[in-house]
């Protein structure tokens, strides 16, 4: 039985501190990255030394993939096949070496205290449009304030570079120019999917905006 690490308030606090004291996330500056096939270079290395490491799967993409998939296959056979109960006992906010991979989606609203722990644990980080500003402004500012209280004194630019998403995704009508340009400059890019339907035919419309009125975004230059 691998050790199970619960995210308690103390662990969440340690993770936040770890985020502030780790080496810089290596994104190729100005380099265009393929969003859906995160290379070793794009995989976050900032968390290599973090205190949560003990209970986490290897971050080496190739290794963790194979290992994790085997574990999941076993788990799925037992837990998710037809008729068997779905097993959610391994909680998303609690993980061990055999837990599934985690992807995080950050929406455009106030972020919870478990942000740092979930972000650090995640292997694929997506921010939804204005969610980029939540990370860029709110979360970064919160970490800077906390670092000052804890005597680490990280500056905003450093914290922002350690909170780098893999993908900024959405209508891109809410993201601020400042955040948009920052992430673009840091190499957070995808391949624009102009005409793609997100998930086939959707029955409802959001805010009733017809497609013809869709605004082109200043961030969609490529």
Residues numbered 15-74 forming contacts with other proteins, rule: CB under 8 A: 35-38, 65, 68-69, 71-73
Name the segment binding other proteins (CB under 8 A); options: 19-27, 44-52, 118-126, 155-163.
118-126
The nearest distance, CB 209 to other proteins, in angstroms, is 5
CB atoms within 10 A of CB 165: 24
Helix, strand or coil, per DSSP, at residue 95: strand
Segment holding 126, helix H or strand E: strand 124-128
Report which of 138, 152, 120 is spatially closest to residue 5, judged by C-alpha positions. 120
Name the segment binding other proteins (CB under 8 A); options: 22-30, 47-55, 98-106, 156-164.
98-106
Residue in 94, 137, 158, 161 binding other proteins, rule: CB under 8 A: 94
Backbone angles phi and psi of 116, in degrees to 5: -60, -45
The nearest distance, CB 179 to other proteins, in angstroms, is 10
- Residues forming a β-bridge with 5: 95
Rounded to the nearest angstrom, the gap between the alpha carbon of residue 138 and the centroid of all alpha carbons in its chain is: 15
Residue in 59, 96, 138, 150 binding other proteins, rule: CB under 8 A: 138
With respect to other proteins, which residue has the nearer C-beta, 25 or 72?
72
The nearest distance, CB 62 to other proteins, in angstroms, is 11
Name the segment binding other proteins (CB under 8 A); options: 24-32, 46-54, 155-163, 177-185.
177-185
With respect to other proteins, which residue has the nearer C-beta, 50 or 57?
57
Backbone angles phi and psi of 212, in degrees to 5: -65, -25
Distance CA 211, CA 216 (A): 11
């Amino acid at each position: 039985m691998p050790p199970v690490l619960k995210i308690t308030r103390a662990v969440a606090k340690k993770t936040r501190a770890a985020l502030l004291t780790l080496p810089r996330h290596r994104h190729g500056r100005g380099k265009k990255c393929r969003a859906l096939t995160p290379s070793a270079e794009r995989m976050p290395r900032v968390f290599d030394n973090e205190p949560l490491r003990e209970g986490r799967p290897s971050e080496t993409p190739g290794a963790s993939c194979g290992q994790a998939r085997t574990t999941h296959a076993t788990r799925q056979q037992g837990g998710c096949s037809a008729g068997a109960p779905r097993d959610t006992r391994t909680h998303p906010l609690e993980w061990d070496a055999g837990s599934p991979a985690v992807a995080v989606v950050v929406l455009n609203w106030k972020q919870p205290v478990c942000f740092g722990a979930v972000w650090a644990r995640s292997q694929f980080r997506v921010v939804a449009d204005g969610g980029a500003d939540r990370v860029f402004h709110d979360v970064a500012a919160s970490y800077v304030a906390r670092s000052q209280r804890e005597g680490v004194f990280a500056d905003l630019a450093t914290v922002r570079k350690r909170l780098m998403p893999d993908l900024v995704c959405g209508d891109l009508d809410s993201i601020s120019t400042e955040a948009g340009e920052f992430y673009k400059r840091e190499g957070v890019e995808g391949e624009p999917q102009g005409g793609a339907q997100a998930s086939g035919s959707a029955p409802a419309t959001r805010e009733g905006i017809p497609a013809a009125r869709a605004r082109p975004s200043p961030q969609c230059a490529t």
